[in-house]
Amino acid sequence: MVFTRLFGFLGKNLAMDLGTANTLIYTPKDGIVLNEPSVVALDSRTEKVLAVGKEAKEFLGRTPERIRAIRPMKDGVIADFEVTKAMIAFFISKVIRGLQLVKPKIVICVPTGITQVEKRAVIESAQQAGAREVRLVEEPMAAAIGAKLPINKPMGNMVVDIGGGTTEVAVISLSSVAYAESVRVAGDEMNEAIQRFTKDEHKVLIGENAAEKIKIELGSAIPLPEPRSIRVSGKNMVDGRPKTIEINDGQVRESIKEPLNMIVMAVRNALEKTPPELVTDVANNGMLLAGGGAMLKGLDQLISQQSEISVIVDEAPLTTVLRGTGIALEREKDMEFVFVN
């Protein structure tokens, strides 16, 4: 009986979407078991981890001198190795409770433009955080698998994955990436653009969390059916006192115009550099839009207008990549071709 109980803890393999904004974890048995912000709060004096994930995100912009809240991932890759390692270890321990006799195998998705040095950093941080084996899969491939696109057929399937730090555009055919375009412009750039707008136009400083809230509530790529506005509080740059301003959807749309144009340009560049037969397939099949950025109102319509190709938004864009990474984990032997290490 004891042996049977122990045997259940021999190994729990994981799929991880280690994102700039959020980290998600999937297990074959339970599905998605974790979805938390990629944020860590540290004691500035001792470097001790004080909080990770949702709790740490609340610290952003609100910490005293002795505490610093940081995001160790930037533009889809590791910016702070030690903090990323601590964050991964925390998330693994949160998912795998109790005794585990064998360290887990982890499949992690990475941007297509990642360098060998950046790949090594992801692998080593996961190994040092407690993984026995680490496999990597590119995000657009994971998104295509997660959306159940026919990736193994001689047919072009286009994926546009807009995360927190990067936008990945890829054309997939015969189980491989025929062409990929990766730009380090995505949700975070939109948040920063909104912060610049309130600073330049209203002389009001707002935090990262406030900017993200404005983007979610008012952000759009094309005019909304009905105009909307909200009141936002921040710090007056002139006298340092609190100040409340009103922002409307048109102002937000104008402020995020530049990052949106760069995303559209990445799509158009990918189409220009893809062989004509595959572009014809994409025109017939439409392109898949995934990632948190896919939820921006009207973005699918903007991309469709600019590319003259229909755009399909995945039914659950926040988890498309993770679902595909999970399938790659479960069917590792059949899907050996998708791993990039």
Q: Are residues 52 and 70 in the same domain?
A: yes
> What is the mean predicted confidence (pLDDT) over 242-261?
97
Look at residue 11 and tell me whether its pLDDT is greater than 70: no
Total number of residues shown for the chain = 341
Distance of CA 178 to the CA centre of its chain: 22
The mean of the pLDDT values for the chain is: 92
Q: Are residues 266 and 326 in the same domain?
A: no
> Do residues 19 and 91 both lie within one domain?
yes
Pairing of strands 49-52, 67-70: unpaired
Predicted pLDDT at 99: 52
Give the per-residue pLDDT at 271.
96
Domain-terminating residue out of 257, 272, 292: 257
**Calpha distance 318→305 (Å, rounded):** 23
**pLDDT tops 50 at residue 8:** no
Contacts of residue 104, Cβ cutoff 8 Å, sequence gap at least 6: 11, 12, 13, 14, 92, 96, 130, 131, 132
pLDDT at 191: 97
Helix (H) or strand (E) holding 149: none
DSSP strands (E only) in the chain: 14-18, 22-27, 31-37, 40-43, 49-52, 67-70, 73-74, 77-78, 105-110, 133-138, 157-162, 167-173, 176-183, 204-205, 229-236, 242-248, 287-290, 311-313
Lowest mean pLDDT among 21-30, 113-122, 197-206, 317-326: 113-122
* Cβ proximity of 193 and 218 under 8 Å: no
Closest CA to 55 of 35, 40, 72: 40
Query: How confident is the model over 143-182, as pLDDT tens digits?
Result: 999 999 999 999 999 999 999 999 999 999 998 999 999 9
Looking at the structure, do residues 79 and 164 belong to the same domain, yes or no?
Answer: no
Query: Which CATH number goes with the domain that contains 263?
Result: 3.30.420.40
Judgement on whether residues 195 and 289 belong to the same structural domain of the protein: no
User: Same domain, yes or no, for 92 and 174?
Assistant: no
Higher pLDDT, 323 or 99: 323
Of 164, 143, 162, nearest in space to 73 by CA: 164
- Locate 64 and state its tokens: 């005293």
Confidence bin at 9 (pLDDT 50/70/90): very low
pLDDT at 98 over 80: no
Tokens of 336: 């050996």
Confidence of residue 60 (pLDDT cuts 50, 70, 90): confident
Give 104's DSSP letter: P
Tell me the C-alpha distance between 132 and 128, whole Å. Answer: 9
Whether residues 162 and 309 share a domain: the answer is yes
Q: What pLDDT sits at residue 139?
A: 94
Least confident of 93-107, 158-172, 199-213: 93-107
Decide if 305 is inside a domain.
Answer: yes
pLDDT reported for residue 65: 83
pTM above 0.85, yes or no: yes
> What pLDDT, on a 0 to 100 scale, did the predictor assign at position 103?
87
pLDDT in tens, 233-247: 999 999 999 999 999
Q: What's the domain count of the chain? A: 3
Q: How far apart are CA 156 and CA 134, in angstroms?
A: 29
Distance separating alpha carbons of residues 25 and 33, to the nearest angstrom:
6
> Is there a domain that residue 145 lies in?
no
Q: CA 232 to CA 177: how far, in whole Å?
A: 43
Do residues 135 and 248 both lie within one domain?
no
Distance CA 135, CA 118 (A): 14
CA-closest candidate to residue 230, choices 243, 217, 242 = 217
Mean pLDDT of 129-136: 93
Q: Give the CB-side neighbour count of residue 287, counting CA atoms within 13 A.
A: 34
Find the mean pLDDT for residues 102-121: 91
Domain holding 227, by residue range, is 188-257
274: left (phi over 0), alpha (psi -120 to 50) or beta: beta
Could you tell me if residue 115 is inside a domain? yes
Distance CA 317, CA 314 (A): 5
pLDDT band at 37 (very low <50, low <70, confident <90, very high): very high
| Confidence band, pLDDT 50/70/90 cuts, at residue 61 | confident
pLDDT given at position 5: 39
